[in-house]
Amino acid sequence: MKNRYQSFGRSRNSRYSPRRSYGRSTRGGSGISVNQYIAKATDAEMPNIYVDGALFSDFKLGKVLDRNIINKKYTVPTKIQNETIPNILKGRDILGIANTGSGKTAAFLLPMIEKLMNDESQTCLIVVPTRELAGQIQDEFVDLARDTNLKSVLIIGGKSIRDQMYILNKRPHFIISTPGRLKDIYERRGVKLEEVNNVILDEVDRMLDMGFIDDIKFIISKLDKDRQSLFFSATMSPKAEIIANSLLRNPVKVEVEKQSPLKNVEQDIVRIDHSKRKEEVLYNLLCKEEFKRVLVFTRTKRNADKLSDYLYDKRVDADVLHGDKKQSQRTRTINNFKRGTVDILIATDVASRGLDVSNISHVINYDEPENFEDYIHRIGRTGRAGKKGYALTFIER
């Protein structure tokens, strides 16, 4: 089938006549207009996330880190790396406005690894919204801190709290955590937040969306007052401002072009009218050759499970990722998807932030997202690292 749009509910030209095409209701419960789900990828404007002329060697990070950077195949620094690494090395606090895909993990890990390698008295706490993101940061830490003596621990829900407390007792240099479990362990006296002199809050807007504001305030209130603090968020809401103000001292503000990776994402809708079954439409799409590695979003865990049962009956191998799965299952699922053992992943929004899998060819919003921000985060899983991606949203209204 040559024309990949032909089985969709509307022709591609629909976007040029929105009034006629979408009739009565252009906005669903999400408040998103159908037009917002349609956009052409602009090849001419491939986002340049790198900085011309900048080199990692300019940061003078030392031999071990330089080698680890080469092994990661990072040839030149991204913009956020170029602007934050020298400032973090100078001891400055950072207010970073950047989303995943910008290279922000290495932007904070590299200088922190350098700092902790040279000063035994330092501990670094990283707080992130989801277990998945924590796991990804840990993976990047393992690569970037190879051949240093630095150790880390993952403090997340769904895993044995006793094991985590045991490792914490050995005073690892890096604590990579989600807020709830960290607070829990603090209250059991398993971690001394008062001794944490470096803190990184990552994806703050997401943590606030998930209702972690009190936990974050609590954690900040316990930290060593004489600390270096880094704050990263894709957007700045009034609540995020409050957190930033209570955390940071005279920060350097670094902002990278927002949502630029989405320029790479061709977005369209698939109309589901009453004559079609939604699952069948999905199945037909998944059978097409160009749908190589596909992330399908449902709004609820139940829908995700139902869909996976349906596909299973059709002999389509798809994994499911949602909050009811055990942590070990979630990790296995993400790894299988990363490795390409499974090409289709059905997920709830739990997976939409931070999931860093390269080469996702298509994101399919089987259920519409709750709001536009979730939409942006969902579709940001494709079209990464300068590659073109596709996002399709099923519309039933």
Please identify, among the stretches 73-81, 87-95, 169-177, 336-344, the one whose residues bind ligand AMP according to the rule CB under 6 A: 73-81
Residue (38 or 199) nearer to ligand AMP, CB: 199
- Size of the chain in residues: 397
In angstroms, give the least distance from the CB of 200 to ligand AMP: 12
Residue (102 or 352) nearer to ligand AMP, CB: 102
Among positions 202, 205, 356, 374, the unique one binding ligand AMP when judged by CB under 6 A: 356
Residue (29 or 53) nearer to ligand AMP, CB: 53
Residue (191 or 363) nearer to ligand AMP, CB: 363
Residue 261: which residues within 8 A CB-CB, separation 6 or more? 47, 49, 99, 101, 380, 383, 384
DSSP conformation letters of 325-349: S-HHHHHHHHHHHHHTSS-EEEE-G
C-alpha atoms less than 13 angstroms from C-alpha of 68 in its C-beta half-sphere: 20
Q: Which tokens is 223 given? A: 């930290």
Please identify, among the stretches 76-84, 118-126, 252-260, 375-383, the one whose residues bind ligand AMP according to the rule CB under 6 A: 76-84
Please identify, among the stretches 74-82, 84-92, 212-220, 331-339, the one whose residues bind ligand AMP according to the rule CB under 6 A: 74-82
Burial of 237 from C-beta contacts in 10 A (0-12 / 13-18 / 19+): middle
Contact status: 68 vs ligand AMP (CB under 6 A):
no
Contact status: 47 vs ligand AMP (CB under 6 A):
no
Among positions 105, 177, 198, 228, the unique one binding ligand AMP when judged by CB under 6 A: 105
Contact status: 106 vs ligand AMP (CB under 6 A):
yes
Among positions 14, 102, 130, 229, the unique one binding ligand AMP when judged by CB under 6 A: 102
Contact status: 84 vs ligand AMP (CB under 6 A):
no
Among positions 101, 111, 190, 261, the unique one binding ligand AMP when judged by CB under 6 A: 101
Cβ 372 vs Cβ 30: under 8 Å: yes
Among positions 77, 135, 380, 389, the unique one binding ligand AMP when judged by CB under 6 A: 77
Please identify, among the stretches 3-11, 77-85, 235-243, 339-347, the one whose residues bind ligand AMP according to the rule CB under 6 A: 77-85
How far apart CA 124 and CA 173 sit, in angstroms, is 6
Q: Which residue has the tokens 């977005």?
A: 267
In angstroms, give the least distance from the CB of 89 to ligand AMP: 16
In angstroms, give the least distance from the CB of 253 to ligand AMP: 18
Of 116, 89, 124, which Cα lies nearest the Cα of 201? 124
DSSP conformation letters of 345-382: EEE-GGGTTT---TT--EEEESS--SSHHHHHHHHTTS
Q: Which amino acid is at 395?
A: I
Please identify, among the stretches 33-41, 101-109, 166-174, 366-374, the one whose residues bind ligand AMP according to the rule CB under 6 A: 101-109
Residue (194 or 255) nearer to ligand AMP, CB: 255
Tell me how crowded residue 114 is: count the other CB atoms within 10 A of its CB: 20
In angstroms, give the least distance from the CB of 354 to ligand AMP: 7
* Helices and strands in the chain, H and E counts: 14, 13
Residue (104 or 378) nearer to ligand AMP, CB: 104
How far apart CA 193 and CA 182 sit, in angstroms, is 9
Q: Please list the residues that pair with 199 across neighbouring strands.
A: 125, 229
Contact status: 104 vs ligand AMP (CB under 6 A):
yes
How far apart CA 396 and CA 80 sit, in angstroms, is 39
Residue (356 or 367) nearer to ligand AMP, CB: 356
Residues that bind ligand AMP (CB under 6 A): 74, 77-78, 81, 100-106, 356
